[in-house]
Amino acid sequence: MEKKKKEIIIKAAQELFGRFGFLKTTVQEIASAARIGKATIYYYFKGKEEIFKEVIEKESKILDEKIKETIGKEETPQEKLKAFVLARMKYFNELANIYTALRDEFLTHYAFIEKTREKYLNREIEIVKKILKEGIGQGAFVIHDLKLTSYAIISALKGLEYQWSINAPLPEVERNTSKLIEILFNGIVKR
């Protein structure tokens, strides 16, 4: 029963944070949405920040599972890299709270947000590095600095994700991703 109440609180908070954002959501609203008293919230959590941290951790696990599942369906390193980019964009749209935590500058003063950002950046770099390493092993890629290349790919994605996720429908994001991957694989130099 204890675990179930905590899950109900997290689910209600996830929906409210996703709809109204972290700053505009109150503990009272979370309690109302969860159909429990405000005192019960404080029994399980110290405050709104701790609830948000739990929501972020939950969404982060879901995002990791979805990306891993999507990549696992592909055969070649090129397809895996494309699948990673598409899954990342698609699930960021569905998991608004993790996206907010990773992007919004007004949350930077929360220590757990900074740790979450750093942890997630490192995870993404490792995913890309693993795909690139597989491509090197298969002779599909020639990469001189695996770590730097992985970092550059993730940095490029971070620079594009806001525009793509907010302003573009998924089919357009897929086309843009294909173009980005083509540039990444073939470069811009005439051969």
The DSSP annotation for 12-30 comes to HHHHHHHHH-TTT--HHHH
pLDDT for the residue numbered 162: 61
Which is higher by pLDDT, 116 or 105? 116
- Give me the phi and psi of 148, to 5 degrees please: -65, -40
Task: Considering only residues 2 and 9, tell me which one the structure prediction assigns the higher pLDDT.
Answer: 9
Could you tell me if 92 and 86 are in contact, meaning their C-beta atoms sit under 8 angstroms apart?
A: no
- Kindly give the interhelix angle for 27-34 and 2-20, rounded to the nearest 10 degrees: 120
Phi (first) and psi of residue 24, to 5 degrees: -90, -5
Specify whether the CB–CB gap between 71 and 80 falls below 8 A.
yes
pLDDT tens digit sequence for 26-77: 999 999 999 999 999 999 999 998 998 889 888 888 888 999 999 999 999 9
Name the residue with tokens 């490192």: 122
Q: Where in the chain is the domain with CATH 1.10.10.60?
A: 1-45
Instruction: Give Cβ neighbours of residue 144 (< 8 Å, ≥ 6 apart).
Output: none
Sign of the CA dihedral with 37 first, then 110, 116, and 46 last: negative
Q: Which of 3.30.70.270, 2.30.30.30, 1.10.10.60, 3.40.50.300 is the CATH number of 1-45?
A: 1.10.10.60
What pTM did the predictor assign?
0.78
Q: How far is CA 113 from CA 61, 91, 110, 121, 171, in A?
A: 15, 19, 5, 12, 31
Express each pLDDT in 17-30 by its tens digit: 888 888 889 999 99
Residue 13's CB: how many other CB atoms inside 10 A?
Answer: 27
Domain 52-186 falls in which CATH fold? Tetracycline Repressor; domain 2 (1.10.357)
Percentage, residues of the chain above pLDDT 90: 43
